[in-house]
Structure 1
């Protein structure tokens, strides 16, 4: 916490998380995706390479991407502590997380989360915490630059952990 009143706090943390993603377009079988790609291409005069690049490949990418991601993140946050006592410390805050997927699929993840939490101070250095967050996460394909893999994945999360004051 910063300042004499110790009302504003900055946080830094490491996290391991899992998330489910949802298909945003061209969901289903490959034949359906190819049919959709043909329908989207317009005239029969379209070149095969344009059809492949603009329609078929994005459709196949949507079908073959994973539906569940595991990732490690580094989180940065700011909290407002309206009431602090010797042991209990409730707060409201905002967190930004940046991370990398773990496993076979190479992707990045960005997370923004408003949060409501409380700390229980064990001593002047260590505390336990619990938080409720409303997370918004977006995944992108690392091997293709920042190609978006999913629409925003939005949902609540409950977190528990331990920390220490610097």
Structure 2
């Protein structure tokens, strides 16, 4: 075997090793950014983070929860309903953010109508017996009892029941 053939063979082997290593790194990156299995309902998932199921309207039919606690919740469609204090809430078809035990941050897809302006709710925290909703630095607190049932878009409240609830 000539020096030239050996050099080409070495370069080819090195190139294949680099490609293999790049594919392995790509696959590991994909796995590290994978999602938790979503075997529970979206309402069960939110309860695991110490939120009442009524924080989401009826029609939340699926979700994705990433390992870093980023989430996406998908509703049947956009949803508006009135809440205590004369406010109207709007949930987009897709709601996203970061969930922690008793906290929702970097929230996207939820807004509140105050007077005639729609303002984004960017954070929700669970306090002692309350949920605190933040629009920028301004917050409003509501008792947890207001969130025992899921709001229906324009029709009152009712949450999907678990089999164990029957």
Do these two structures clear the TM 0.5 threshold for a shared fold by scoring above it?
no
Q: 1 or 2, which has the higher strand percentage?
A: 1
Structure whose alpha-carbon radius of gyration is higher: 2
- Higher relative CO (CA 8 A, sep ≥ 6), structure 1 or 2? 1
Q: 1 or 2, which has the higher helix percentage?
A: 2
- So what's the TM-score if we normalise by structure 1? 0.30
